[in-house]
Amino acid sequence: MISMPDRIPTVKKTESVLQTKNLNVYYGDALALRNINLEIPKNNITAFIGPSGCGKSTLLRCFNRLNDRIENFRLKGSVSYYQQNLYDSGVDPVAIRRRIGMVFQKPNPLPMSIYENIAFGPKSIGLKKNLDELVERSLIQVDLWKEVKNRLRKSALILSRGQQQRLCIARTLAVQPEAILMDEPCSALDPISTLTLEEILQELKQHYTIVLVTHNMQQASRLSDMTAFFNVEFSENHRRVGYLVEYDETPMIFLNPAQSLTRQYIRGRFG
Ligand code: ADP
């Protein structure tokens, strides 16, 4: 008989920053995500895991209205930032994206200098004072300052991939968000750069709420406080529909999940 370890809580009991209620997401008439109910706690790292196509990225993008750019996207139910439904009429998606930043899978620095990459966002929202300090502070937060302080005016494109990804995170931090959404931020990085980034995220969660999509189960288990496991099933008309199987503190998901499907997935039985 397998004995299960005791629960080891890591999550800080905090208020929830983001919340979905009875959320259904559609692309055209195809349901992509079914009835998602979850709350993202403040100043923690929450990981989304699950097989490809189960809707992790779709859900992540709902949190800062990035799907609005997809023509046939629509949703039912609610996605709230504190008590504000982000999809209410009158809510400005640009303002949301400032509060809730996004970091993508592939580092995407702008074709300009290291300095300008960081200063660009603040300048575009009118934060023009003390830019030098803001750039320095943002680069320090991602542990990049020492590496680039003598070449701030050089192109960001000369940096390594790991450095570019840290630069992109610094760029997100420079507009002073509260939450950061990350869609597989390490999947284009080597193992050392990945570990460096994970250490930085552990520091950043003191000040920011982080939601992370990852295919890397080890990463979810060592880095996150909360883990949401999603799966896909087939609808009556044979379309793939994602749903939330289980959401709990990460040690529970990895050591003592409530659902046998979760256990099978984390043991690599499918997906
Ligand atoms: P995951 O991140 O878990 O791999 P995605 O969120 O990328 O899953 O995709 C969930 C489902 O939504 C998939 O069936 C995918 O084909 C579909 N999908 C994603 N983006 C679009 C889009 N722009 N248009 C239509 N269908 C989409």
CB of 257 sitting under 6 A from ligand 1? no
Q: Which candidate, 221, 210, 209, 213, places its Cα nearest to that of 262? A: 221
CB of 235 sitting under 6 A from ligand 1? no
What is the CB-side half-sphere exposure of residue 205 using CA atoms within 13 A? 26
Residue 224 · residue 209 · CB < 8 Å: no
CB of 233 sitting under 6 A from ligand 1? no
Name the residue with the closest Cα to ligand 1, atom 15. 53
CA distance 97 to 92: 9
Is the pLDDT score of 6 beyond 60? no
CB of 162 sitting under 6 A from ligand 1? no
CA distance 181 to 266: 23
CB of 56 sitting under 6 A from ligand 1? yes
Digit-coded pLDDT (tens) for 205-236: 999 999 999 999 999 999 999 999 999 999 88
pLDDT reported for residue 10: 61
Is the pLDDT score of 3 beyond 70? no
Is the pLDDT score of 173 beyond 60? yes
Q: Map out the domains of the chain as residue ranges.
A: 16-109+179-266
* Intra-chain end-to-end CA distance of the chain, in Å: 26
**Average pLDDT of the residues in 8-27:** 85
pLDDT reported for residue 9: 52
What is the CB-side half-sphere exposure of residue 5 using CA atoms within 13 A? 9
Please name the residue that has the structure tokens 């640009």: 94
At residue 4 the predicted structure's pLDDT band, cuts being 50, 70 and 90, is very low
CATH topology of domain 16-109+179-266: Rossmann fold (3.40.50)
Name the residue with the closest Cα to ligand 1, atom 14. 53
pLDDT reported for residue 237: 83
Query: What is the bridge-based pairing of β-strands 226-234 and 73-81?
Result: unpaired
Is the pLDDT score of 2 beyond 50? no
User: What does pTM read for this prediction?
Assistant: 0.94
pLDDT reported for residue 1: 37
**Average pLDDT of the residues in 253-266:** 96
At residue 39 the predicted structure's pLDDT band, cuts being 50, 70 and 90, is very high
Distance from the alpha carbon of residue 141 to the mean position of ligand 1, in angstroms:
32
Phi-psi domain of 176 (left: phi exceeds 0; alpha: psi -120 through 50; beta: other): left
